[in-house]
Amino acid sequence: MVTESKLTVVMYHYVRDLENSRYPRINGLAIDRFRGQLDYLAKHHTFVRVEDVMAACRGDQALPSDAVLLTFDDGYADNYRYAFPLLDERGVQGCFFPPVASLRDRVVLDVNKIHFALAAIGDVEAIATFCLEKVAAWRDEYGLEEPGYYESHLARTSRFDDPRTLFVKDLLQRGLPETVRSRLTDEVFRRFVSVDEKAFAEELYLTMDQAQTMRRHGHYFGAHGLSHRWLDSLPAEEQRAELQVSLELMRQLGYRDGEFVVSYPYGGFDEHTLPVARELGFGLGFSVEARTATIGQDDPLLLPRLDTVDLPFSG
């Protein structure tokens, strides 16, 4: 029988030396703030491991009432340089979710091309104008709407981004047909960031050797798809393919059936995602719904997570 218990899952992305970075405007967490948040969590919570959460969801053990689990999406080299040593010195496990295309194939993900373009110049209007000019130029070639259509239909707000930044992200991530999005994102990256994608990928992402080192130190690695696509924008078979490739990577890192964990890119899922994940053998799944999880109530494949900004940065 599963014992009902609360679990705080914290979601991190970029943890880096922002001040001395070439991209200090990237929406990341400075090392001192990460260290301070670890102090806060140590004071108010008990750190648990992925294995503990799996066991609790099976009913094999109960979690402490103040349990907290740390997760890191997207597989950045910063996780190895900065987060890994700080976690290790405290004996705290992190659960890391690298997309296969970045870790194995050294491809810069579209999501990161957008992030770094926005961080590189600090002028979102210049990027928005560039994108809309391309939309106008490509209208006949791709059968696109006129630029004003996208500006009106993609206007929304977010707790993380100003409306114009959110517009650029939505346009390049979901608003345009996939072939157009990919082509335009590539042009944005080359125009505002770098023409050397391979060198940028080598600097930005974890290597397999680094992941294996972290694994030997007790940290966990889960699935995050092949190329960080919105799963809920894909048919069931393409979702299966994305998760299957990630599962094969987990097997390469030494995980066996019953030990598979997934974080849905962007938190996207639909009515096909969970059945596919269950069929492939995933036991835990993490969304981006911002609240505390309740083991025994929440579906183990849909555990919510708090963003780092939802918690204090000082003990």
How confident is the model over 146-178, as pLDDT tens digits?
999 999 999 788 888 999 999 999 999 999 999
Mean pLDDT of 267-283: 95
**Chain segment 18-33, per-residue pLDDT in tens:** 999 999 999 999 999 9
Give domain limits for the chain: 5-106+207-310, 110-199
CA 164 to chain centroid, in Å, comes to 22
**How far is residue 8's CA from residue 76's CA, in Å, rounded to a whole number?**
23
Mean pLDDT of 283-293: 97
Question: Do the Cβ atoms of 107 and 201 come closer than 8 Å?
Answer: yes
pLDDT of residue 266: 94
Q: Which residues contact 85 (CB under 8 A, 6 or more apart)?
A: none
What fold does the segment set 5-106+207-310 form as a domain? TIM Barrel (3.20.20)
**How far is residue 218's CA from residue 95's CA, in Å, rounded to a whole number?**
10
**pLDDT value at 231 more than 90:** yes
Question: Do the Cβ atoms of 83 and 34 come closer than 8 Å?
Answer: yes
**How far is residue 291's CA from residue 310's CA, in Å, rounded to a whole number?**
9
